Structure formats: C-alpha cells, structure tokens
Amino acid sequence: MIEKYHVPVLLQSCIDGLNINPDGVYIDLTFGGGGHSKEILKHLSEKGKLFSFDQDEDAKANIPDDKRLVFVPHNFRYVSNYLRLYGVSKVDGILGDLGVSSHQFDKAERGFSIRFDADLDMRMNQKSDLTAKKVLNTYDAKKLTAMFREYGEVDNAFKLSNLIVEARINNLIETTSQFKEIIKPCTPKFEESRYLAKVYQAIRIEVNQEIEALKECLTQCVKLLSPNGRLVIISYHSLEDRLVKNVIKSGNVEGIEEKDVVFGKITKYFKSMTAKPIVPSAEEIEINSRARSAKLRIATRIEG
C-alpha cells in the first residue's frame, strides 16, 4: 500500500450521507487511496457489496483483501457497463470524491503540480494518448482559449493562448518550468499560484475529459440508484458542483426540469439532503489543506 496516498475528505459526513444498509450494494466512483471504500466496508455485512472504480494504475496498490469489494480499473464514465457485467442494475448508494488525489499531486513525474519541474503529462489514466504536452503543442489558439475560459475561468485566456502558440513555433513545450516561463507575461505578480492553479486545472480537465466523464456518470447514477438510494458527491470547483446541483434538482446535467404532459407537474428524481453543501471544518483543513475547496452534496433517490 502507498502510504498517505490520499486523505479521505469529509469522511464521516460521506458515511452518514450514504445511510448504509449493511446488506446493500454500493459504489465508490473514485477509489484512490481507498479511504472512503474501507470505511464503507466497515458498515457492510457479509452480504453487502462494494464496487470501487479508479482508472489510475497506482490506485491498485491500495486494494484491501476483502471479498465484498470488486475493484474496477476503469473510468467511472463506464459505471453502468461494468456493473452490468456483474449482474447489477440497481444500487443503494453512490459516493464520488471528484478531482485529483494527493498522491497524483505529490508524484512529481505525473505533472499535475505547479511545484515541481516535470514533463507536462497530467494523465489520470496512464494508458491515454492525450497528455498536457500534446494539448499545449497541437491545439490551435481558438481551442486553447475556449479551454482556458471554460475549464479554468482564466480572464486573459486569449492572450495566454496566443503566447503558447507563438512560443511553440521554435521549440516544443515539454516541461512545467518551460511552460511557466513562457506564460510569465500573463501571470499576475502577486497572484502567481492562484493563476497557475486555474491554468493547470483547465489543462488537466481537458487531458482527462473530466467534465464529459462526469456528465456521463451522473446521468447513469440517476438510473442506477434504487428508490431511497443515496447520491453522495464531493466536488472541488464550480463546474463540477453545478453539474451535481443540476442532477439533484432535475435528474439531468442540464438542470432542465421535466413536466408531466397531462398535469404539468414537475418530475422530481431526488430529494436534496443538503440545502447548502457541507464543507470541511477548520480543523480538517488544517490537517488536510487540499480539503479547503471541497463541497459535499447529498441526495435521496425518490421512488417511482
């Protein structure tokens, strides 16, 4: 097992939110260091079952020896397909701790962190062909601008993109330090870390197709949950949180409420258990600084 792979965020709130039936079937969409999964297993009987997903090869080192756990080494966008292979069509609870694990940030060669000089990689799935290097060296200025605006909410996305396109004419952009040097004219003097975090977030989301994968996954979660089943999702930025809110509100990622054609009554799929998202305490943030932007939303699947 990899020590301190990832400290599970809002652990007790997640377990409380799942309202675990000991004989039930549960999904951990983001296994990572296995912290949430191991806690779920503590609440399951011998009849209970847990399916845990993670596309990162490194996560396999954290799998506990427990026959109630089925580890699926794939992206959670394929959750329904893989559950079908095991004859499962309905589950009692789904947990997702979105974003990047501490292990991925801390492993320099993965290229996720602005702290280290490394190859521009950022792949959660090491078998994927799309890397940060490929994005920065092949996307045209228009595509880069759209990426930085949509996924990072970067104010000077147009200027940033043109700097990148101009710089790569002479040399490929290959490392973190090289990239940071290229975009210095765009980087605010007293907000360097905050700005780079936004830029890196945008690239990482694009490399891993995170928003599209989350949309596909949440859409499937609506159908997978049994009546009274729980949806428990931790998000780390507004793009993710908006999709989670939309699904809880309307049953779809667009947030478009459906109406009964006869009576005009709005169809409800979930009852929200969190009027406002649950956030980490000051004590938890002090122990685990990466929890500071976490927002937990919990909802119960309505019968029918």
Q: Report the range of poorest mean pLDDT among 38-42, 156-160, 165-169, 194-198.
A: 194-198
Does 3.40.50.150 match the CATH number of domain 11-102+213-301?
A: yes
What is the DSSP pairing of strand 295-301 with strand 225-235? Answer: antiparallel
Q: Exposed, middle or buried, 74 (CB in 10 Å: 0-12/13-18/19+)? A: middle
Question: For 1-10, what is the mean pLDDT?
Answer: 65
User: Domain 131-208 carries which CATH code?
Assistant: 1.10.150.170
* CA dist., res. 212 & res. 284, Å (int): 30
pLDDT digits (tens, 9 = 90+) for 83-126: 999 999 999 999 999 976 555 555 655 656 666 688 999 998 88
Question: For 127-131, what is the mean pLDDT?
Answer: 94
Please check whether residue 122 is in contact with residue 108, taking contact to mean a CB–CB distance below 8 angstroms: no
| Per-residue pLDDT band at 280 (split at 50, 70, 90) | very high
How is the chain split into domains, by residue range? 11-102+213-301, 131-208
pLDDT at position 1, please?
44
pLDDT digits (tens, 9 = 90+) for 31-85: 999 999 999 999 999 999 999 999 988 889 999 999 999 999 999 999 999 999 9
* CA dist., res. 269 & res. 222, Å (int): 8
